[in-house]
Structures are given as structure tokens and as C-alpha cells.
Structure 1
């Protein structure tokens, strides 16, 4: 789970990775015989029993620096990724963060370029980056279903993925995402809801050197159960 790729000098939320650090992190994956891919590709390969050697790479919030700083690194290593964007804030800034610098977000043209020219998966991060577990039904519908419709129109492609802002999810929200027609959704540490609509991820930051990456990977495997690719996570959690 990545966010911004750029200058780390003012980063109170620790969401920024420098281009050099990203290059070293992805280079380490490559040297270990691993390949970074988007989430839709990873899940499709997993359903076929062919996910060995693949690592899902995600970039949350749709920062404009992705195109300038992350994309060249992905190209260098031949990796793909999923970019989770906010169609309600196209060309805006990260106004949901009270601290830290204002960072510009991708424009509509920037998103189309990533989808059409670069072949990257564009997926939803909601409309405006709100905590969906606190949203009423009307806002929840707009943030989940409305964002999917807007992104599908923008890219000309069916949007398969959703990413929960702040990583927060409960059964009501997961149900709404599934009902809206998504194929999967990413969280952070979803607990008993872990599954295709509440996929756990590992946060990656500027301080993650090679040994820290390895440690995070091993700890994640110890703490989290495997994700059943064909199971309904909401049903599984109720059992």
C-alpha cells in the first residue's frame, strides 16, 4: 500500500515515499523473482491458481506525483499497479488531511492517460475521501456507487476495485460495495471481514529498507489469515 511518491521532508502522516526509495523497494522485489501487478490481475491469477510470484501494488488517493515519480519506476521494472482515485476531487488537493502540505491530485486527463496509454488499473477510492463507516445511506451510495459510475464513464472501462478511505470498513459498507457491482475492495487491517471485499494490505513508507520489507511481509503472514478468493467475505465473517 503506497500513497504519494515525492518529497518526504514534510510528511506528518508518513504517506510519502521518495522515488529513489521506491526504486530500491521494487528492485528488491524484482531480484527476488517477484513481479508487481494491479489488484484485478492479482486476483484473477489467484483464481486460476497462478498467483505465485505476483505482488499486488496499490497507490491510494490518486496523487498527481504518481505520473511524474512512480510511473517511471514501475516502467523501469516492468511492473503494474492499481491507482485508487477520487473522481469527486479531480485536479484538487488532499483537503482531508488537516496537517502537512497540500498535494495536487490527478486530473481527468491524467487518469485517462494512465488507463489508456499505460494500461494501469484505475479503481475507486470513493468520491471525496470520507470515512464510509460514518456515512448515512445517501452519502454511502454516492461515495461507492456514484464514484464507480463516474470512473467507468471517465475511463471507458468497468471499474472492478474499491479502496476504503482510511482503511475503515464494516459489514454494512462491505455489503454496499458488493451490491454496487465491484469485484473486490481493499482495506488495511479488516479483522474478521478479511476477504475479497476487505483485502488486507501492508503499508509501505520511506523508512522501509530491504530488511524491514522482509519483516513486514513475514509479520503480515503470521497475523492475517489467507484470503479465500472465491468466498463472500461478509458471509464468511458471519459464520
Structure 2
């Protein structure tokens, strides 16, 4: 969970890639959307909930502009090939149960995928780290496996949602390394991605994630210099984000340091 209030051609098919001296020229920088819970719960003190109706309209906005939502793993693989144009990374932090019950059917209907960041120490628990607001259930083992079976990426959000920049060395190691091993055992596969709780990171946290064997990590802003793919920026998407606001956030992504630059 993190409270942040930060953001296309109108065709059914992607436009042909322009070329420069016979080589493909990159289109607009790709971007990654940051979601959390999807429910009709009106009590949302941290601005981390979108209603199912709002999510449906936001996904329709993407599809109507020839964009396709994908997991971060897919987005980075496409970027490595230079084919990321027309893709939007979709992430859902905290691993709420409503990702499987509500968001997943919407994503599948459109042929979208997403990354869900799970708290490996709170599987089957609830959002106990939030001092106020409603208690919401988190994915259990069955829910996590259902997400994987549906083609979604499951990645780590740590163990218990602590600010890693304030953690002791032992806690930092456990949150980053143990969470990866626990999730790998649940999904019987490698866990490639990490997401910093609250979006907070420093060089020490980023280095711990890198040494733990992850291939990337998501934050909100780009993070300290030199973090690269271990501080991928994202754009917060909330209930207030109508099509007009989405268009503005998309257009201003690079200006505000929220774009995923080409490699």
C-alpha cells in the first residue's frame, strides 16, 4: 500500500513503427500503472481503491487507444526486444483477494495480464499494516495459484509491508530474500520482481533486492541514481482517474519521471 496522487494513438491496431536510417524508431516511452484494491468499499483513506466499474472504464480507455496491459515481466521482455510500444505495465500492490475475484476476470476478458505483488508473510491474512480504514482480506495460497494459472505474474512485496529504508539489516534481508523463497515455493516457479512497500527505497534497499536475485523492482519514482531496473517508476491510478486524467498522466509521465525509458 502507498498513497500517491501522481498518469496512444486511437486505433484498433498498433501503428507501424517509424524508421530512422532503416532501423525501427522507438515510439513513446512505456509506462507502468499502479493499482491496489478493486472493490466498492467507500472507506478509502489512502486513495488505494478503485471500484470495479471504474477499473472497467480505465481498461476500456487503454484498449480503445490500441494499448494492451501486460505484466512487468512481459513489459521488460518486450523492451529488451524493442517492441514495447503499445504496452502498459499493470501492477496491483499488496495482493488483495479482490485481485482474483474482481480484477482478474476483467483482465482476462480483454486479453490483458498483470503483476500482483504479494506479501509472503501475510498470505491469507489482511492489511494489518494500515492503522485506519477497513480490514481487507489478502490472497491465500489457492488465490495466488489461481492468478498464476490465469497467466498473471506473482511477485514479492516483502513479508509484512515494512519501510525497508528504516529496517535493520536482518529485517531487510528477511523481507527481501525470505519473501522470494516463500513465494517461489507457493507458485513452484522463479519470482523475478519485487515492489518496495510504500514506494520507499534507498541504495541499501535496492542493493539488497539486487543481491537477492530479483531481476527488477518497482517503486514510484526512479529512485537513487544508478538503480536502473531496480527502481522502475510507476503511475498511481485511483478512483478519480477518468479518461481525461488518464490521458494527462500518460502524456506527462516522462516529464514527471514516471516513464519506463527504452534500453
Distance in 2 separating the partners of 1:87 and 1:191: 24
Equivalent positions of 1:108-119 (< 5 A) are: 108-115=141-148, 117-119=149-151
- Post-superposition shift, 1:171? 0.4
Q: Is the CA contact 2:70–2:90 (under 8 Å) kept in the aligned structure 1?
A: yes
| Count of residues in correspondence between the two structures | 229
The residue number in structure 2 matching 1:220 is 253
String of CA shifts for 1:165-209, please: whole Å, max 9, x gaps: 000010010001000000000000244446200001000001100
Change (3 A) 1:189 1:125: same
Distance in 1 separating the partners of 2:221 and 2:65: 26
- 1:149 paired with 2:181, answer yes
- Post-superposition shift, 1:220? 1.7
Distance in 2 separating the partners of 1:225 and 1:108: 32
- 1:100 paired with 2:133, answer yes
User: What do you get for the CA RMSD once the two structures are aligned?
Assistant: 1.3
Q: Which has more radius of gyration?
A: 2
The residue number in structure 2 matching 1:201 is 234
Q: TM-score, normalised by structure 1?
A: 0.93
The residue number in structure 2 matching 1:91 is 124
Higher strand share: 2
Q: Which of the pair has the greater relative contact order for Cα pairs under 8 Å at 6+ separation? A: 2
Distance in 2 separating the partners of 1:216 and 1:15: 17
Look up the SS of the partner of 1:41 in the other structure: helix
Distance in 2 separating the partners of 1:227 and 1:55: 10
The residue number in structure 1 matching 2:49 is 16
- 1:180 paired with 2:212, answer yes
String of CA shifts for 1:104-123, please: whole Å, max 9, x gaps: 000011101111x2021000
Q: Is the CA contact 1:132–1:164 (under 8 Å) kept in the aligned structure 2?
A: yes
Distance in 2 separating the partners of 1:164 and 1:192: 13
Equivalent positions of 1:22-171 (< 5 A) are: 22-115=55-148, 117-171=149-203
Which deviates the most, 189-198 or 172-181? 189-198
Stretches of structure 1 lacking an aligned partner (at least 5 in a row): 231-239
Higher helix share: 1
Look up the SS of the partner of 2:35 in the other structure: coil
Look up the SS of the partner of 2:69 in the other structure: strand
String of CA shifts for 1:84-121, please: whole Å, max 9, x gaps: 00110011110111111000000011101111x20210
Distance in 1 separating the partners of 2:47 and 2:261: 31
Look up the SS of the partner of 1:111 in the other structure: helix
Distance in 2 separating the partners of 1:28 and 1:127: 34
Distance in 1 separating the partners of 2:72 and 2:258: 18
- Post-superposition shift, 1:226? 5.6
